[in-house]
């Protein structure tokens, strides 16, 4: 069964450093997403991406964040200058359809720890 | 911004039916309601999706009233392995753009 994969599974970084989280969505999916989940809290939407551009973004997704699909398979989330409060699980997801069609397939997540 | 709320936690015994309700007052007109299951340190996993009335699949049923401002996930005959956090997910189009809003999550504990 096809699945979304994410690397690394755990990333530790110093405050102020840049991190890039990587995802490989399911191959025939067209919509891609990043979510985050702070420990013990609910899953929060960050951004959706379609046709090589951002479709929607939340208030969390400020100028420190960017997304990119550098090739035909990878989808990345970059945090330019990490803050302590960026420590969270980051989930990538993909879906065949877009807004309204919410059967999104989630990856296993990357745990980001900012020291 | 829409607030999507669920009960914080529920306990049940094996073999019982569990119903978890989510309220989503500002659901976007064309949006589906989707429920996910999440185990610790894993990504959410799709359970069921519906637009209105009732949907049933091999693991759950989803009940959606006519006004679509709430939905109820029904898990028949739960087992210990159903212990997890359950989230509803809706789209919110009230601000003129479309955002995905997860519910607050319901921690289900199934007891032997």
Geometric angle at alpha carbon B99, from A49 and A112, rounded to 5°: 65
All residue ranges of chain A with pLDDT < 70 are: 99-102
**Nearest C-alpha of chain A: how many angstroms from B108?**
14
Nearest to B102 among A44, A89, A111 (CB): A44
Residue B2 in this model has a pLDDT that exceeds 80: no
Cα separation, A83 vs A13, in Å, equals 10
Cα separation, A98 vs A31, in Å, equals 6
Contacts of B97 in chain A (CB under 8 A): 56
Contacts of A38 in chain B (CB under 8 A): none
Contacts of B91 in chain A (CB under 8 A): 99-100, 102
Q: For residue B6, what is the nearest residue in chain A, using CA coordinates?
A: A42
Residue B95 in this model has a pLDDT that exceeds 70: no
**Residues A47/A35, Cβ–Cβ less than 8 Å:** no
Inter-chain residue contact B46 with A105, CB threshold 8 Å: yes
CB under 8 Å to B106, separation ≥6 — which residues? B6, B7, B8, B9, B10, B20, B85, B86, B87
Residue B69 in this model has a pLDDT that exceeds 70: yes
Q: Each residue of A49-81: pLDDT tens digit?
A: 999 999 989 989 999 999 999 887 899 999 999
Inter-chain residue contact B99 with A93, CB threshold 8 Å: no
């Amino acid at each position: 069964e096809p699945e979304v994969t994410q690397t690394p599974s755990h990333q530790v970084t110093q405050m102020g450093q840049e991190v890039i989280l990587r995802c490989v969505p399911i191959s025939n999916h067209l919509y891609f997403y990043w979510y985050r989940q702070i420990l013990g809290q609910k899953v929060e939407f960050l951004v959706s991406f379609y046709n090589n551009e951002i479709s929607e973004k939340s208030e969390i997704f400020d100028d420190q964040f960017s997304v990119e699909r550098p090739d035909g398979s990878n989808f990345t989330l970059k945090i330019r200058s990490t803050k302590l409060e960026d420590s969270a699980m980051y989930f990538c997801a993909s879906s065949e359809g877009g807004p309204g069609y919410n059967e999104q397939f989630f990856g296993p997540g990357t745990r980001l720890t900012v020291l | 911004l829409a607030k999507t709320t669920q009960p914080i936690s529920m306990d049940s015994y094996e073999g019982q039916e569990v119903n978890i309700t989510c309220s989503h007052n500002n659901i976007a007109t064309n949006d589906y309601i989707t429920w996910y299951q999440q185990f610790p340190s894993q990504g959410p996993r799709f359970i069921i999706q519906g637009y209105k009335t009732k949907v049933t699949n091999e693991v759950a049923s989803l009940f959606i009233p006519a006004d679509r401002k709430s939905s109820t996930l029904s898990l028949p005959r739960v087992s210990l392995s159903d212990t997890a956090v359950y989230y509803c997910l809706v789209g919110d189009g009230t601000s003129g753009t479309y955002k995905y809003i997860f519910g607050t999550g319901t921690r289900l504990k199934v007891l032997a």
